[in-house]
Every structure is written in structure tokens, then in C-alpha cells.
Amino acid sequence: MTRFRLTIEYDGRPFMGWQRQAHGPSVQGAIEAAAVRVTGEAVALHAAGRTDSGVHAEAMTAHCDIARPITAFRLMEALNALLRPDPVAILACEEVADDWHARFSCIRRRYVYRIANRRAPLALAAGRAWQVAAPLDAAAMHDAAQALVGRHDFTTFRSAHCQADSPLRTLERLDVVRHGAEIAVHAEARSFLHHQVRSMVGCLMLVGRGKWTAADLAAARDARNRDALGLNAPPDGLYFVGADYPA
Amino acid sequence: MTRFRLTIEYDGRPFMGWQRQAHGPSVQGAIEAAAVRVTGEAVALHAAGRTDSGVHAEAMTAHCDIARPITAFRLMEALNALLRPDPVAILACEEVADDWHARFSCIRRRYVYRIANRRAPLALAAGRAWQVAAPLDAAAMHDAAQALVGRHDFTTFRSAHCQADSPLRTLERLDVVRHGAEIAVHAEARSFLHHQVRSMVGCLMLVGRGKWTAADLAAARDARNRDALGLNAPPDGLYFVGADYPA
């Protein structure tokens, strides 16, 4: 068996999410189906993160084991040929050691959440950003966000369906940056809880609108209660942008 | 009658182009149909440019005359509400003088052509950039492009269906800029011939691949013959990004 590391770009809109589903299209299912056609063997993908329906990836990392002799380049080309016209592309493929694991070896996940802060509906970025018509104070959002950086109990910002054993996470970065009408929220951590980024962004939006103060956000964090959540942002604006591994 | 200036964003993929068509959807047709529903009167749009099928706009400019009293803000909001779910959005709307004309008052049209210079198919930018797998030398493309700047006979870079009286145009800017895997070609002129930007970009791609020299591009220009065209780039990567008017 040879272990291959894949870097994957996808548009999350037509999928029920990353994870293979019995009843509906998934990114994992699409790539695994292509891999079966390439290799003639059952192939299981393991990913750094499992994105929800409608969430996108600029560079998801996954791995799989393949018995049939094949080069990384040939595997990438064959998968890309078979994945058309699904909006999934293998950006890179390389052989890795047998003990390298896309999920368990990962030391940092990086997300970007894109907000289109404008009154007009989105024509070019429909389904690919969160349109917020009310003017947002991105500097206030950034300042308030710093209360979430560090090691905290993120129960407030965790889906009721989250399967993690502990609500404790160490958020390494939560930066809010405006470029014209686009606001990008950059989030980095070793791992995230289910819906954590979208829940943090939803509350930051309330800060940006002036409906919440920075103290309100810190109080929501300290409540450690899902009922204290202000708002869960829609999946449209969320992008998995990278997974980091030890050198 | 009040004349309104509209700034319009659209994704060109589902449309046969800007111009109203008897048999198929157009951006102009979609907005005019919405305007009829808003005003109860026949409304004709006049645009700074007429983009082809599959060509996008970040900021097309158009105008229309409306007899019924309505504010610019109300017109914009009503049009946007009626245009959903078409990927067309009115970004701005303002009253202008009766002799202001989106097409005839325009003193500069600006386009950007986006090339995704990568081997993998496009998942996030499918239909929104031209994927070119072979490595391109963007600096060589930029240098060669300067031979097209200025006043020239652009017959080589003009569609056989072009209806302009003269093939002479003054190209004010043709810059090629690389950011990572994305190459952007910026083109500006008072006006362009039909297919001119796509034809120039197609030939610049040949320069980027090393198939054409800068001298070949200049020779194609001097041939003043459509048969000398190297390649017409697909519509996917072309964006109308702005129309300029006297202050």
C-alpha cells in the first residue's frame, strides 16, 4: 500500500458536506467514487476537517492508501479527469509515509469567513459569501474577537450535534480585516468544534452592527451555554483554506 | 421623464450576453423585465458596453428613462428584489441629467481578463477564469503587450461580426500582472472592437507559453487580417470592470 496526500479545492454548494452520506452527494463520496474507478479497489479518504453543506475549501488536505502501483501525478490527473463536472479539483498529490495522517498529524486548521458588507444582493459571489446589508464596524469586530483568542470553553459556539469530547479549544488567531466592501475573518486553531467558526462570526457580526459590545461577546463566551449564542452565520462565507503539519 | 444611471454586477454564465435577444435570456432583458414590473411602463436600457455570452461584469454602467415618479433608491431596491434569483445585482442607482448617456458619454471602458495558470481544473472559479495548464511567462506577456498600446488598426483582433465602422482604436493600457497562479490582464480604451480583449489575450497566452515572440505579436497586429489571429480566449475569464465619464 502507498499512502497519498491530496490537496483539494471544492465549491460546497452542490454537496451535503465533506463527509460521505448514504443519501446525497458529498465531496468525500465524489472523490472516493473516482478513486475506485482509477484503482479498481475500495479507497477510503481521511480529511483534516469535515466541512458542512455549503462550506467551501481552497485547500482541504486528505490522505488515502492505494495498493495498485500508480504515481502521485497519474493519480491526480486521473481523479481530476473523472471528477468533472463536479466542482472538486485535486490541486496536489504526493506520496507520504505510512504513518502520516491527514487528520491526526494535523497541528493547525485555517479558515477564512467572507462577509460581503453591501446592500446589493450578490451576483458574482452568490453562495460564496455572507451578504450583510447593514454597515459593519470591522475594527470593533476585530477588537472584540480578541476575547475569544486563547484557551476557552467554547460551549456557546458549539453545535448541539458536536461530537467532540471536550468543549475546550485553543484559538490561535481570530482576525477581522476589511478590504473595501469585503470583510474577511481569519480563524486558526489546532482544531475547532462543530459550527465554531460560523458561531463566532455570527456573534462578531452583531458587534459590527453595534447590537453587541465587546463585553457582550465575552459574556457569551463565559456563559458556556448554546442559548447565549447571538447568531450562527450561514455556510456560504466559510472556506477551509489550509491544514498545517509538522515539517 | 427622469434618467437613472445604474451600476450593474452580473455573472454572465446563464445569459446569451448583455443584449436583449428574442430567443434566450440576456442581462438587459432581465433588468428591463424587472423595470416594467416596477414602473408599469416600457423601459429601455442603454449600456456602456455589450458583453458576449459568458462574459461577466463587476460594474457595468447603463441608463434608462422612467416617467413614473420614483426615487433612485426605491428603483434600485425594487429591481434587486425582482431580479432574484438571476445573478444580476444593481450596485448603485442615481438620477442623472437628461443628456447624460451611458454609451455615448463614456470616455473609457475597463476590462480585466483572469487566467488561472494551473494544472488542476477550476472548482471555485469554474466558468469565471480561463484555466491554462502550461506555465506562462507573465513578464514576457506584459512586455509583448505594449506593442498593442496606442492607436492601431486592430483588424486582426476583431470578430468577423464586429459592426464598428473603423478598425482603428486607441488602446490606453494593456498590463499583465501575476499574483501567484492568477494572471490578470488589464485593458483600457475609449472603446473596443468586438472580441478585441479576448483576441489580444489569446495571442498573449501564446507569448506566455513561448510559442510566439513579441515580434510575432507585433507582426499579427501589422497583418491587419483576422487570419493572423493566434487564438481567441474563451469568455469565462473576461470581466467588464468599469466605465468612466467626464467629471
Q: What is the ipTM of this complex?
A: 0.94
Distance CA B46, CA B42 (A): 13
Give the start-end residues of each E strand in chain B: 2-10, 46-47, 56-66, 88-96, 108-116, 130-131, 150-153, 168-179, 182-189, 238-244
Whether A232 and chain B come into contact, CB under 8 Å, resolves to no
Q: What average pLDDT does the segment A156-173 reach?
A: 95
Using a CB-CB cut-off of 8 Å, the residues of chain A touching B242 are: none
B24 and B58 both lie in a single domain: yes
B127 φ/ψ sector (left φ>0, alpha ψ -120 to 50, else beta): left
Chain A residues 54-83 within an 8 A CB cutoff of chain B? 56, 58, 76, 80, 83
Kindly list the residues from chain A whose CB atom is less than 8 angstroms away from the CB atom of residue B80. Answer: 120-121
Residue A54 belongs to a domain with what CATH number? 3.30.70.580
Q: Chain A neighbours among B 143-182 (CB < 8 Å)?
A: none
Q: Are A243 and A108 in contact (CB under 8 A)?
A: yes
Q: Structural domain of residue A205, as residue ranges?
A: 108-244
Name the DSSP letter for residue B159.
-
- Is it the case that residue A166 has pLDDT exceeding 90? yes
Three-class secondary structure of residue A195 per DSSP: coil
The count of domains in chain B is 2
Task: Tell me whether residue B145 is in a domain.
Answer: yes
Identify the H or E element spanning A81.
helix A72-83
Residue A214's H or E segment, with its range, is helix A214-223
- The string of pLDDT tens digits covering residues B134-149 is 999 999 999 999 999 9
**Same domain membership, residue B132 and residue B89:** no
Q: Are residues B119 and B221 in the same domain?
A: yes
Alpha carbon of residue B6 to chain centroid: 16
**Nearest CA among B92, B90, B88, B95 for reference residue B66:** B95
Asked if residue B41 lies in contact with residue B125, where contact means CB atoms within 8 angstroms, the answer is no
Q: What is the pLDDT of residues B160-216, one digit of tens each?
A: 889 999 999 999 999 999 999 999 999 999 999 999 999 999 999 999 999 999 999
Rounded CA separation A189/B202 (Å): 43
Residues of A in contact with B88 (CB under 8 A): 123
Say if residue B190 is in the same domain as residue B116: yes
Among A56, A121, A124, the residue with its CB nearest the CB of B124 is A56
Whether B124 and B80 map to the same domain: the answer is: no
B52-89 pLDDT, tens per residue?
A: 999 999 999 999 999 999 999 999 999 999 999 899 99
State whether B140 and B200 are in the same domain. Answer: yes
- Are residues B91 and B161 both part of a single domain? no
Q: Are B157 and B233 in contact (CB under 8 A)?
A: no
Of A33, A64, A96, the domain-final residue? A96
Domain membership of residue A103 (yes or no) is: no
Does the annotation mark B216 as catalytic?
A: no
In the structure, what pLDDT confidence band is assigned to residue B247 with cuts at 50, 70 and 90?
confident
Do A72 and A112 share a domain, yes or no? Answer: no
